[in-house]
């Protein structure tokens, strides 16, 4: 009778020997429930199991570990010689599929096959060893040219790991170009199409050198390292010492030319109430100092920078003394240097530093 497909030879379970790669036989002892298959299977339905010529129901009567070789019965099969046999379904059918010529398109190839990485090396006339952006499979999976002249391995260069070594150093200013061919490594390179959405990505300890992300739109939150005034964590491209950084918890500063500044406050923070002689400090900049009974203020010399400002409030029933140890101190609207000033009862004064040695005090001072 005509048929379509490949002829499958029947398996006779009464034979002592099973056809190669078709079946396994085991002998039950009345207590063992686990038997080791000769090959791994993925599902219970990938095999047919018989005990004393009675077919067993998959999952209910037996189970397997996906990808493993253990066959476990729900109940121990009875004792008998070769009374258990396992038939593998289509494990060695011999069916082959021939792909038509020209049917595999560019889009179906893995990116590490179709995307050719290139390295443009910068010679100095003496260096012979250069580091490539990835490890080639061999020296012959590279096309290397110097000023357009193709180099030949191993006569002109050799490769070890991700380093290429030239027999002689390329001349300074020459154009050295290395192109990696397809099938170069087992690493798969993934290229995202424009407009792709990445949901909850996790990048573990990567090194991404000088990335360029054009007009990104972030949805949700993003975290940044602390940074510093010299190297803020958020900065303009090419201007790495100007931007924002985070010197402590709940604190945002900005850096300009490597100098750090505190971002403005929504209110004026208090330094605290001083009830004895107190010398203004850099940490007081942008804050106000309250002076109570028995307190006084000293403005030190060569401590502050241009633009620093501190507010002083006299919360006392009598005036307090402001000692001006700074080189030059003016009361706003006057032209005489003051060694001391008096801040009136419940008075407020603002000390504005013109430089480290000059300040102007405005408010209720005389």
Residues 172 and 132 in one domain: yes
Q: Quick one: pLDDT at residue 137?
A: 82
CA distance 103 to 99: 7
- Boundary of a domain, candidates 215, 240, 264: 264
Segment 177-206 mean pLDDT: 65
Please indicate, yes or no, if residue 207 is contained in any of the structural domains. no
CA distance 240 to 258: 9
Please indicate, yes or no, if residue 51 is contained in any of the structural domains. yes
| % of the chain at pLDDT higher than 70 | 80
Residues 243 and 328 in one domain: no
Instruction: Select the more confidently predicted residue: 7 or 59.
Output: 59
Q: Quick one: pLDDT at residue 18?
A: 41
Please indicate, yes or no, if residue 212 is contained in any of the structural domains. no
Q: Quick one: pLDDT at residue 209?
A: 63
Pairing mode of beta strands 340-343, 320-324 = antiparallel
Tally the residues of the chain: 366
Residue 220 CB neighbours (<10 A): 5
pLDDT digits (tens, 9 = 90+) for 221-238: 778 889 998 999 999 888
Instruction: Give the Cα-Cα-Cα angle 312, 317, 321 (nearest 5 degrees).
Output: 45
Residues 251 and 330 in one domain: no
DSSP assignment letter at 283 = G
Beta carbons of 262 and 240 less than 8 angstroms apart = no
Residues 288 and 359 in one domain: yes
Please indicate, yes or no, if residue 198 is contained in any of the structural domains. no
Q: What is the side-by-side strand order in the sheet with 34-41?
A: 34-41, 68-73, 62-64
Q: Quick one: pLDDT at residue 180?
A: 86
Residues 119 and 158 in one domain: yes
Residues 13 and 84 in one domain: yes
Q: Quick one: pLDDT at residue 111?
A: 67
Residues 281 and 250 in one domain: no
Please indicate, yes or no, if residue 278 is contained in any of the structural domains. yes
| % of the chain at pLDDT higher than 90 | 53
Q: Quick one: pLDDT at residue 103?
A: 79
- 177 has a pLDDT exceeding 90: yes
Q: Quick one: pLDDT at residue 191?
A: 59
Which band of pLDDT confidence, cut at 50, 70 and 90, is reported for residue 182?
low
Beta carbons of 18 and 38 less than 8 angstroms apart = no
Residues 134 and 162 in one domain: yes
Least confident of 7-21, 284-298, 346-360: 7-21
CA distance 34 to 32: 6
The residue segments making up the domain with residue 238 are 227-264
Please indicate, yes or no, if residue 185 is contained in any of the structural domains. no
Q: How many domains does the chain have?
A: 4
Residues 248 and 308 in one domain: no
Instruction: Select the more confidently predicted residue: 250 or 158.
Output: 158
Q: Quick one: pLDDT at residue 92?
A: 47
Residues 321 and 290 in one domain: yes
Which band of pLDDT confidence, cut at 50, 70 and 90, is reported for residue 13?
very low
- Boundary of a domain, candidates 68, 96, 124: 96
Please indicate, yes or no, if residue 140 is contained in any of the structural domains. yes
| Cβ-Cβ contacts under 8 Å for 2 (sequence gap 6 or more) | none
Residues 231 and 286 in one domain: no
Please indicate, yes or no, if residue 36 is contained in any of the structural domains. yes
Beta carbons of 290 and 321 less than 8 angstroms apart = no
- φ, ψ for residue 139, nearest 5 deg: -65, -25
CA distance 55 to 13: 12
pLDDT digits (tens, 9 = 90+) for 285-328: 989 999 999 899 999 999 999 999 999 999 989 999 999 999 99
Q: Domain containing 342 — which CATH number?
A: 2.60.120
Residue 288 CB neighbours (<10 A): 18
Q: Quick one: pLDDT at residue 94?
A: 45
Nearest to 361 by CA among 299, 344, 352: 352
Q: Which of 138-152, 208-222, 259-273, 349-363 has the highest mean pLDDT?
A: 349-363
User: Mean pLDDT in the chain?
Assistant: 84
Q: Quick one: pLDDT at residue 136?
A: 85
CA distance 154 to 136: 14
């Amino acid at each position: 009778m005509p048929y379509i497909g490949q002829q499958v030879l029947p398996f006779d379970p009464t034979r002592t020997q099973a056809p190669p790669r078709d079946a396994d036989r085991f002998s039950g002892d009345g207590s063992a429930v686990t038997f080791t298959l000769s090959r791994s299977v993925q599902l219970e339905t990938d095999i047919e199991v018989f005990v004393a010529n009675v077919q067993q129901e998959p999952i209910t009567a037996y189970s397997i570990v996906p990808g493993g070789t253990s066959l476990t019965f729900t109940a121990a099969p009875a004792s008998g010689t070769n009374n258990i046999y396992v038939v593998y379904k289509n494990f060695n059918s011999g069916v082959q599929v021939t792909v038509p010529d020209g049917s595999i398109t560019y889009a179906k190839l893995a990116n590490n096959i179709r995307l050719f990485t290139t390295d443009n090396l910068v010679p100095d006339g003496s260096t012979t060893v250069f580091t490539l952006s990835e490890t080639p499979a061999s020296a012959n999976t590279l096309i290397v040219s110097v000023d357009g002249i193709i180099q030949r391995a191993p006569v002109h260069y050799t490769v070890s790991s991700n380093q290429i070594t030239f027999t002689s150093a390329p001349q300074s200013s020459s154009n050295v170009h290395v192109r990696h061919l397809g099938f170069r490594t087992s690493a798969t390179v993934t290229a995202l199409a424009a407009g792709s959405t990445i949901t909850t990505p996790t990048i573990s300890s990567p090194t991404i050198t000088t990335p360029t992300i054009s007009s990104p739109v972030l949805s949700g939150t993003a975290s940044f390292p602390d940074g510093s005034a010299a190297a803020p964590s958020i900065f303009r491209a090419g201007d790495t010492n100007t931007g924002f950084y985070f010197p402590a918890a709940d604190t945002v500063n900005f850096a300009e030319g490597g100098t750090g500044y505190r971002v403005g406050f929504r209110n004026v923070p208090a330094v605290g109430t001083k009830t004895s002689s107190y010398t203004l400090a850099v940490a007081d900049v942008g804050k106000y100092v309250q002076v109570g009974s028995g307190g006084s203020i000293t403005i030190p010399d060569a401590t502050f920078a241009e633009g620093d400002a501190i507010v002083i409030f006299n919360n006392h029933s009598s005036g307090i003394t402001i000692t001006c140890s700074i080189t030059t101190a003016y009361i706003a609207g006057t032209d005489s240097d003051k060694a001391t000033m008096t801040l009136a009862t419940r008075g407020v004064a603002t000390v504005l530093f013109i430089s480290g040695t000059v300040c102007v005090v405005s408010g209720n001072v005389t």
